[in-house]
Amino acid sequence: MLAHGSAAWCLNPTSRMVRKLSSIQRGFLLAISGAYKTTPTAALQVILSIIPLHLQFQLESRVTTLCRLRTQFRLDITTLQAEEIEEKGTVWTSEPAKHPHPNQIYLQDGGTRNTCTRIYTDGSKIEQSVGAAFCVFQGQNIIYRWSAMLKNDNTVFQVKLITLKEAVQHASHNNNNLPIFIRVDIIRPAFKLHLTRSPTIK
């Protein structure tokens, strides 16, 4: 509740406001640290790595002024223009897979690639099991499979990266001269890596 409306009243806090906020924060700092009452407030803020309240409120106020209200304000050394600040990207309000749009998802089928080696990777995690696997297609046939069970403390993202690492290592030892496509599902939509044989692949 203390921070309510701080974007409006704490853009340029006065010295009286700074002292009042520091006095309010001091009681909490003493309770958290268990320090003596004679300990300076600034020392408590440094020890606990907690920034002063007026600086936190001032930060929120300036971010709101520049990024949301898109208005300028003057500092001691310069004037910040809203046009100089990068705008935050607009998030999707619906699941792209359920409401596809040409500007969001490329809908055209790229066709089949039967003349090259294709590696499909996958990794998943359920309550008591974490697994990773990939398979290698040559034409319409599976020529190699790899799978592994991992520790339960691995995240899904870590599992997918481990699978991708194993797939890249397998691709680096491929003996033919055909291009290799590794298809992974780390982010949506899935992206594709195109590998060619090179001495730089380890």
For residue 139, what are the domain limits?
A: 106-195
Q: Report the C-alpha gap between 72 and 83 in whole angstroms.
A: 9
Residue 99 located in a structural domain: no
How many CB atoms within 10 Å of residue 59? 13
| Pair (7, 74) in one structural domain | yes
Residue 97 located in a structural domain: no
* Whole-number pLDDT of residue 200: 38
Angle, CA of 61, 90 and 75, to the nearest 5°: 25
Mean pLDDT, residues 39-65: 87
Least confident of 29-33, 91-95, 141-145: 91-95
| Pair (123, 73) in one structural domain | no
| Confidence band, pLDDT 50/70/90 cuts, at residue 117 | confident
Residue 94 located in a structural domain: no
How many CB atoms within 10 Å of residue 170? 17
What is the percentage of the chain residues whose pLDDT exceeds 70?
A: 68
Strands 129-138 vs 180-183: parallel, antiparallel or unpaired: unpaired
* 3-state secondary structure at position 81: coil
* Whole-number pLDDT of residue 121: 87
Least confident of 16-20, 65-69, 71-75, 92-96: 92-96
What CATH number has the domain bearing residue 151?
A: 3.30.420.10
- Looking up tokens 């596809």 gives 100
Phi, psi at 14, each rounded to 5°:
-80, 165
The answer to whether residue 66 scores a pLDDT higher than 70 is yes
Give the residue from 84, 115, 131 where a domain finishes.
Answer: 84
Q: What residues form DSSP beta bridges with 129?
A: 126
Residue 146 located in a structural domain: yes
Distances from the Cα of 79 to the Cαs of 12, 58, 64, 72, 201, in angstroms? 14, 16, 16, 7, 49
Give the residue from 31, 53, 84 where a domain finishes.
Answer: 84
| Pair (72, 143) in one structural domain | no
Q: What residues form DSSP beta bridges with 133?
A: 122, 147
- Looking up tokens 């691995």 gives 154
Q: Report the C-alpha gap between 20 and 97 in whole angstroms.
A: 51
| Confidence band, pLDDT 50/70/90 cuts, at residue 195 | very low
Residue 25 located in a structural domain: yes
What is the percentage of the chain residues whose pLDDT exceeds 90?
A: 4
| Confidence band, pLDDT 50/70/90 cuts, at residue 196 | very low
Q: If you write DSSP's letter for every residue of 26-68 in order, what string do you get?
A: HHHHHHHH---TTS-HHHHHHHHT---HHHHHHHHHHHIIIII
Strands 180-183 vs 79-80: parallel, antiparallel or unpaired: unpaired
Q: If you write DSSP's letter for every residue of 117-176 in order, what string do you get?
A: EEEEEEEEEETTEEEEEEEEEETTEEEEEEEEEE-TT--HHHHHHHHHHHHHHHHHT--S
The answer to whether residue 105 scores a pLDDT higher than 60 is no
Give the residue from 26, 49, 84 where a domain finishes.
Answer: 84
Residue 200 located in a structural domain: no
Please tell me the total count of domains within the chain: 2
* Whole-number pLDDT of residue 119: 87
Burial state string for 125-162 with b = 16 or more CB within 10 A and e = fewer than 16:
beeeebbbbbbbbbeeeeeeebeeebeeebeeebbbbb
| Pair (79, 16) in one structural domain | yes
| Pair (124, 64) in one structural domain | no
The answer to whether residue 193 scores a pLDDT higher than 50 is no
The pTM of the whole model exceeds 0.85 = no
The answer to whether residue 192 scores a pLDDT higher than 60 is no
| Pair (175, 117) in one structural domain | yes
* Whole-number pLDDT of residue 156: 81
153-189 per-position pLDDT tens digit: 888 888 888 888 888 888 887 766 667 788 876 554 4
| Pair (32, 73) in one structural domain | yes
